[in-house]
Chains A and B, each alone.
Chain A
Amino acid sequence: KQEVTQIPAALSVPEGENLVLNCSFTDSAIYNLQWFRQDPGKGLTSLLLIQSSQREQTSGRLNASLDKSSGRSTLYIAASQPGDSATYLCAVLKTSYDKVIFGPGTSLSVIP
């Protein structure tokens, strides 16, 4: 049974700092891994998707890496801004027709 964990549960950093969010999954046989952002009480916004054959994806100040063999993914946020404050969730898909399993999320607060 796939289980997804995220560390840390919460993080508070000063504006401008670079930071790393961690995601771990127990079953390395995945189809893809997706990182999402969620603002309080809102839906999920897709940030980055990494397919199983890829090692990383980049979008602006965000970079996500994937190491299937160790069951880990990291989301790197460069030069953090107060607008980055939100909960970040990672989710894994086992096969193309399977359900998506989410981690509990990391709550990020960027202090001006």
Chain B
Amino acid sequence: DAGVTQSPTHLIKTRGQQVTLRCSPKSGHDTVSWYQQALGQGPQFIFQYYEEEERQRGNFPDRFSGHQFPNYSSELNVNALLLGDSALYLCASRTAGAGGLNEQFFGPGTRLTVL
């Protein structure tokens, strides 16, 4: 089991550009969540996808959008990049639902630097 995988590992962009980050969930998981983690802070929830629909969204602007594919993999898109978007972007997967553990597993993250 490969666990949660993310690509790319590192990314450098300039202000105003657009970026797409990718995530493949752990085998058997159907729910994918994205988090932004600034240096020295805890991860901040961006949004969660289940059955190809955005189910929950955190306090992030519409420049942040996502998608989930039928195989449960997911993309995070950020438009009109700002310097403040520089962070570690983490993807987590779990099998959501009542009665289950709902244990989250995280990928290694994508380090985005905006210049």
Residues of A within 8 A of B (CB): 4, 31-32, 34, 36, 41-46, 49, 51, 89, 91, 93, 96-105
Secondary structure class of chain A's binding surface, majority of residues: strand
Q: Which of A46, A89, A96, A98 contacts B42 (CB 8 A)?
A: A89
Chain A CB within 10 Å — which of B42, B48, B55 has the most? B42
Give the docked Cα–Cα distance between A96 and B58 (Å). Answer: 17
Residues of B within 8 A of A (CB): 4, 6, 33, 35, 41-45, 48, 50, 55-56, 58, 88, 90, 92, 96-109, 111
B contact residues around A97 at 8 Å (CB): 50, 55-56, 96-97
* Known A42-B108, A99-B48, A102-B43; contact A51-B88, beta-carbon cutoff 8 A: no
On whether the beta carbons of A100 and B108 are closer than 8 Å, the reply is no
Task: List the B residue with the shortest CB-CB distance to A9.
Answer: B40
On whether the beta carbons of A41 and B111 are closer than 8 Å, the reply is yes
Chain A CB within 10 Å — which of B6, B48, B111 has the most? B48
* Known A98-B56, A104-B41, A104-B42; contact A91-B104, beta-carbon cutoff 8 A: yes
On whether the beta carbons of B105 and A100 are closer than 8 Å, the reply is no
What are 24 A-B pairs at a CB distance below 8 A? A32-B101, A34-B104, A42-B108, A43-B4, A43-B6, A43-B90, A44-B92, A89-B42, A89-B43, A96-B96, A96-B98, A96-B99, A96-B100, A97-B50, A99-B33, A99-B56, A99-B58, A100-B33, A100-B45, A100-B92, A102-B42, A102-B43, A105-B41, A105-B42
B contact residues around A51 at 8 Å (CB): 101
Give the docked Cα–Cα distance between A49 and B35 (Å). Answer: 19
On whether the beta carbons of B42 and A43 are closer than 8 Å, the reply is no
A contact residues around B96 at 8 Å (CB): 96-97
Give the docked Cα–Cα distance between A7 and B49 (Å). Answer: 32
Give the docked Cα–Cα distance between A42 and B88 (Å). Answer: 9
A contact residues around B41 at 8 Å (CB): 104-105
B contact residues around A103 at 8 Å (CB): 42
Give the docked Cα–Cα distance between A101 and B90 (Å). Answer: 14
